[in-house]
A and B are shown apart, each in its own frame.
Chain A
Amino acid sequence: GDSVTQMEGPVTLSEEAFLTINCTYTATGYPSLFWYVQYPGEGLQLLLKATKADDKGSNKGFEATYRKETTSFHLEKGSVQVSDSAVYFCALSDRAAGNKLTFGGGTRVLVKP
Protein backbone atom coordinates (compact mmCIF):
# COMPACT_ATOMS: atom_id res chain seq x y z
CA GLY A 1 0.00 0.00 0.00
CA ASP A 2 0.86 3.66 -0.08
CA SER A 3 3.19 5.06 2.55
CA VAL A 4 5.01 8.26 3.43
CA THR A 5 8.23 8.42 5.40
CA GLN A 6 9.57 11.65 6.83
CA MET A 7 12.46 12.44 9.09
CA GLU A 8 11.81 12.21 12.78
CA GLY A 9 12.08 15.26 14.94
CA PRO A 10 12.30 17.30 16.80
CA VAL A 11 14.35 19.60 14.63
CA THR A 12 15.72 22.55 16.59
CA LEU A 13 17.03 25.58 14.72
CA SER A 14 18.05 29.13 15.36
CA GLU A 15 16.17 31.97 13.71
CA GLU A 16 17.31 32.65 10.12
CA ALA A 17 18.72 29.13 9.74
CA PHE A 18 18.02 26.94 6.70
CA LEU A 19 15.39 24.24 7.16
CA THR A 20 15.10 20.94 5.30
CA ILE A 21 12.63 18.20 6.14
CA ASN A 22 13.05 15.02 4.10
CA CYS A 23 10.04 13.15 2.77
CA THR A 24 9.95 10.03 0.61
CA TYR A 25 6.94 8.08 -0.54
CA THR A 26 5.74 4.78 -1.93
CA ALA A 27 2.64 4.77 -4.10
CA THR A 28 0.86 2.37 -6.41
CA GLY A 29 -0.14 5.01 -8.89
CA TYR A 30 0.90 8.56 -9.72
CA PRO A 31 0.13 10.57 -6.60
CA SER A 32 -0.26 14.22 -5.75
CA LEU A 33 1.99 15.35 -2.90
CA PHE A 34 1.31 17.77 -0.08
CA TRP A 35 2.87 19.44 2.91
CA TYR A 36 0.60 20.35 5.81
CA VAL A 37 1.51 22.39 8.88
CA GLN A 38 0.00 22.11 12.35
CA TYR A 39 0.52 24.96 14.79
CA PRO A 40 0.09 24.23 18.51
CA GLY A 41 -3.50 23.50 19.45
CA GLU A 42 -4.78 23.83 15.90
CA GLY A 43 -5.83 21.64 13.01
CA LEU A 44 -3.73 21.00 9.92
CA GLN A 45 -3.37 23.64 7.23
CA LEU A 46 -2.34 22.99 3.66
CA LEU A 47 1.08 24.57 3.16
CA LEU A 48 1.84 23.62 -0.43
CA LYS A 49 1.24 20.94 -3.02
CA ALA A 50 2.50 19.47 -6.30
CA THR A 51 0.49 17.31 -8.65
CA LYS A 52 3.04 16.08 -11.19
CA ALA A 53 6.71 15.32 -11.58
CA ASP A 54 9.10 18.30 -11.42
CA ASP A 55 6.35 20.60 -10.14
CA LYS A 56 7.49 22.94 -7.39
CA GLY A 57 5.03 23.92 -4.71
CA SER A 58 5.71 27.09 -2.75
CA ASN A 59 4.06 29.16 -0.04
CA LYS A 60 5.19 31.47 2.80
CA GLY A 61 8.85 31.01 1.81
CA PHE A 62 8.60 27.22 1.87
CA GLU A 63 9.32 25.15 -1.24
CA ALA A 64 9.17 21.49 -2.24
CA THR A 65 9.82 19.83 -5.60
CA TYR A 66 8.12 16.64 -6.77
CA ARG A 67 10.96 14.25 -7.66
CA LYS A 68 9.54 11.15 -9.29
CA GLU A 69 12.92 9.54 -9.90
CA THR A 70 13.79 9.60 -6.20
CA THR A 71 10.16 9.42 -4.95
CA SER A 72 10.82 12.42 -2.76
CA PHE A 73 9.19 15.73 -1.82
CA HIS A 74 11.58 17.47 0.57
CA LEU A 75 10.47 20.68 2.27
CA GLU A 76 12.87 23.63 2.43
CA LYS A 77 12.92 27.17 3.75
CA GLY A 78 15.88 29.46 3.46
CA SER A 79 15.46 31.53 6.62
CA VAL A 80 13.14 30.33 9.37
CA GLN A 81 11.37 32.46 11.94
CA VAL A 82 10.15 31.68 15.44
CA SER A 83 6.63 31.67 14.01
CA ASP A 84 7.55 28.65 11.85
CA SER A 85 7.66 26.46 14.95
CA ALA A 86 5.09 23.76 14.25
CA VAL A 87 4.63 20.14 13.20
CA TYR A 88 4.98 19.50 9.48
CA PHE A 89 3.31 16.58 7.72
CA CYS A 90 4.11 15.19 4.31
CA ALA A 91 1.18 13.48 2.59
CA LEU A 92 0.09 11.92 -0.67
CA SER A 93 -3.17 11.34 -2.48
CA ASP A 94 -3.20 8.44 -4.89
CA ARG A 95 -5.97 7.78 -7.40
CA ALA A 96 -5.16 4.06 -7.29
CA ALA A 97 -5.96 4.11 -3.57
CA GLY A 98 -9.25 5.93 -3.97
CA ASN A 99 -7.70 9.39 -3.60
CA LYS A 100 -7.46 9.02 0.15
CA LEU A 101 -4.82 11.13 1.89
CA THR A 102 -1.93 9.17 3.45
CA PHE A 103 0.25 11.00 5.98
CA GLY A 104 3.77 10.68 7.22
CA GLY A 105 4.41 10.65 10.96
CA GLY A 106 5.06 14.39 11.20
CA THR A 107 8.21 16.37 12.06
CA ARG A 108 8.21 18.82 14.92
CA VAL A 109 10.25 21.96 14.24
CA LEU A 110 11.31 24.33 17.00
CA VAL A 111 12.87 27.67 16.04
CA LYS A 112 14.67 29.52 18.81
CA PRO A 113 15.29 33.27 18.78
Chain B
Amino acid sequence: NAGVTQTPKFQVLKTGQSMTLQCAQDMNHEYMSWYRQDPGMGLRLIHYSVGAGITDQGEVPNGYNVSRSTTEDFPLRLLSAAPSQTSVYFCASSLSSGTGNGYTFGSGTRLTVV
Protein backbone atom coordinates (compact mmCIF):
# COMPACT_ATOMS: atom_id res chain seq x y z
CA ASN B 1 0.00 0.00 0.00
CA ALA B 2 2.69 2.48 -1.06
CA GLY B 3 0.24 4.93 -2.70
CA VAL B 4 2.04 7.60 -4.75
CA THR B 5 5.83 7.52 -4.60
CA GLN B 6 7.95 10.44 -5.72
CA THR B 7 11.71 10.51 -6.14
CA PRO B 8 13.94 12.27 -5.36
CA LYS B 9 12.75 14.16 -2.28
CA PHE B 10 15.30 16.94 -2.74
CA GLN B 11 17.32 18.09 -5.74
CA VAL B 12 19.61 20.99 -6.56
CA LEU B 13 20.24 21.75 -10.23
CA LYS B 14 22.33 24.26 -12.05
CA THR B 15 20.67 26.48 -14.64
CA GLY B 16 20.48 24.67 -17.96
CA GLN B 17 20.70 21.16 -16.54
CA SER B 18 18.00 18.62 -17.26
CA MET B 19 16.44 16.05 -14.97
CA THR B 20 13.45 13.78 -14.51
CA LEU B 21 11.21 13.72 -11.48
CA GLN B 22 9.79 10.26 -10.97
CA CYS B 23 6.24 9.42 -9.93
CA ALA B 24 4.77 5.95 -9.49
CA GLN B 25 1.46 4.74 -8.09
CA ASP B 26 0.35 1.23 -7.25
CA MET B 27 -3.41 1.81 -6.99
CA ASN B 28 -4.23 1.24 -10.67
CA HIS B 29 -5.37 4.85 -10.93
CA GLU B 30 -6.17 6.10 -14.43
CA TYR B 31 -5.69 9.79 -13.76
CA MET B 32 -2.30 11.25 -12.84
CA SER B 33 -1.13 14.83 -12.64
CA TRP B 34 1.79 17.06 -11.70
CA TYR B 35 1.47 20.24 -9.65
CA ARG B 36 3.94 22.82 -8.49
CA GLN B 37 3.53 24.62 -5.19
CA ASP B 38 4.87 28.11 -4.76
CA PRO B 39 4.47 30.40 -1.73
CA GLY B 40 1.20 32.32 -1.83
CA MET B 41 0.08 30.70 -5.09
CA GLY B 42 -1.40 27.42 -3.97
CA LEU B 43 -0.93 24.52 -6.36
CA ARG B 44 -0.83 24.95 -10.11
CA LEU B 45 -1.35 22.16 -12.60
CA ILE B 46 1.57 21.48 -14.93
CA HIS B 47 0.52 18.40 -16.93
CA TYR B 48 -1.96 15.60 -16.50
CA SER B 49 -2.85 12.24 -17.97
CA VAL B 50 -6.20 10.46 -18.16
CA GLY B 51 -4.63 7.11 -19.01
CA ALA B 52 -1.61 5.38 -20.51
CA GLY B 53 -0.55 7.05 -23.75
CA ILE B 54 -2.64 10.18 -23.14
CA THR B 55 -1.27 13.43 -21.74
CA ASP B 56 -2.33 17.06 -21.82
CA GLN B 57 -1.16 20.45 -20.64
CA GLY B 58 -2.29 22.17 -17.50
CA GLU B 59 -2.02 25.76 -16.38
CA VAL B 60 1.79 26.12 -16.40
CA PRO B 61 3.28 23.58 -18.86
CA ASN B 62 6.18 25.58 -20.32
CA GLY B 63 9.60 24.07 -19.65
CA TYR B 64 8.22 20.66 -18.72
CA ASN B 65 7.53 17.45 -20.63
CA VAL B 66 5.66 14.32 -19.59
CA SER B 67 4.90 10.88 -20.96
CA ARG B 68 2.68 8.03 -19.77
CA SER B 69 3.86 4.72 -21.16
CA THR B 70 2.35 2.67 -18.32
CA THR B 71 -0.56 3.12 -15.94
CA GLU B 72 1.81 3.18 -12.96
CA ASP B 73 4.41 5.77 -13.98
CA PHE B 74 4.18 9.45 -14.89
CA PRO B 75 7.63 11.10 -15.01
CA LEU B 76 8.09 14.87 -15.30
CA ARG B 77 11.07 16.10 -17.31
CA LEU B 78 12.73 19.47 -16.99
CA LEU B 79 14.50 20.06 -20.28
CA SER B 80 16.69 23.02 -19.32
CA ALA B 81 16.25 24.09 -15.72
CA ALA B 82 15.70 27.76 -14.88
CA PRO B 83 15.63 29.50 -11.49
CA SER B 84 11.89 30.15 -12.03
CA GLN B 85 11.38 26.38 -11.74
CA THR B 86 12.52 26.38 -8.14
CA SER B 87 9.48 24.97 -6.39
CA VAL B 88 7.98 21.98 -4.63
CA TYR B 89 6.52 19.49 -7.08
CA PHE B 90 3.68 17.13 -6.26
CA CYS B 91 2.42 14.17 -8.20
CA ALA B 92 -1.20 13.12 -7.65
CA SER B 93 -3.41 10.31 -8.86
CA SER B 94 -7.10 9.50 -8.91
CA LEU B 95 -9.15 6.45 -9.81
CA SER B 96 -10.60 8.44 -12.71
CA SER B 97 -11.06 12.04 -13.65
CA GLY B 98 -14.58 12.02 -12.30
CA THR B 99 -15.44 15.08 -10.31
CA GLY B 100 -16.26 13.26 -7.09
CA ASN B 101 -13.01 11.36 -6.74
CA GLY B 102 -10.40 12.59 -4.36
CA TYR B 103 -6.75 12.70 -5.32
CA THR B 104 -3.88 10.87 -3.61
CA PHE B 105 -0.73 12.98 -3.41
CA GLY B 106 2.90 12.01 -3.18
CA SER B 107 5.13 13.55 -0.53
CA GLY B 108 6.72 15.98 -2.96
CA THR B 109 10.08 16.85 -4.53
CA ARG B 110 11.74 20.06 -3.41
CA LEU B 111 13.73 21.41 -6.37
CA THR B 112 16.18 24.29 -6.24
CA VAL B 113 17.69 25.70 -9.43
CA VAL B 114 20.77 27.85 -8.93
B41:A105 contact, CB within 8 angstroms: yes
B40 touches A31 (CB 8 A): no
**A42 and B107 form a contact (CB under 8 A):** yes
- In the complex, chain B residues 72-114 whose Cβ is within 8 Å of any chain A Cβ: 90, 92, 97-108
Residues of B within 8 A of A (CB): 4, 31, 33, 35, 40-45, 48, 56, 58, 90, 92, 97-108
**How many Å lie between the Cα of A31 and that of B33 in the bound state?**
19
Q: Size band of the A side of the interface?
A: 20 to 34
- Asked whether, in the complex, the Cβ of A98 is within 8 Å of the Cβ of B97, the reply is yes
Q: How far is the CB of B98 from chain A (nearest CB, A)?
A: 6
B56's nearest neighbour on chain A, judged by CB, is A98
Q: How far is the CA of A34 from the CA of B106 in the complex (A)?
A: 17
Q: Which of B35, B43, B56 lies at the interface centre, i.e. has the most chain A CB atoms within 10 A of its CB?
A: B43
A–B pairs, 21, beta carbons within 8 Å: A4-B42, A31-B99, A42-B108, A43-B90, A43-B105, A43-B107, A44-B92, A46-B104, A49-B100, A89-B42, A95-B99, A98-B56, A98-B97, A99-B99, A100-B45, A100-B48, A100-B97, A101-B33, A101-B92, A105-B42, A106-B42
Residue of B nearest to A100 (CB): B45
Contact B43 A89 (CB under 8 A): yes
A85 within 8 A of partner (CB): no
Among A32, A94, A100, A104, the one with the most B-chain Cβ atoms within 10 Å of its Cβ is A100
A94 to B99, CA, bound (A): 6
Closest to A31 in B: B99
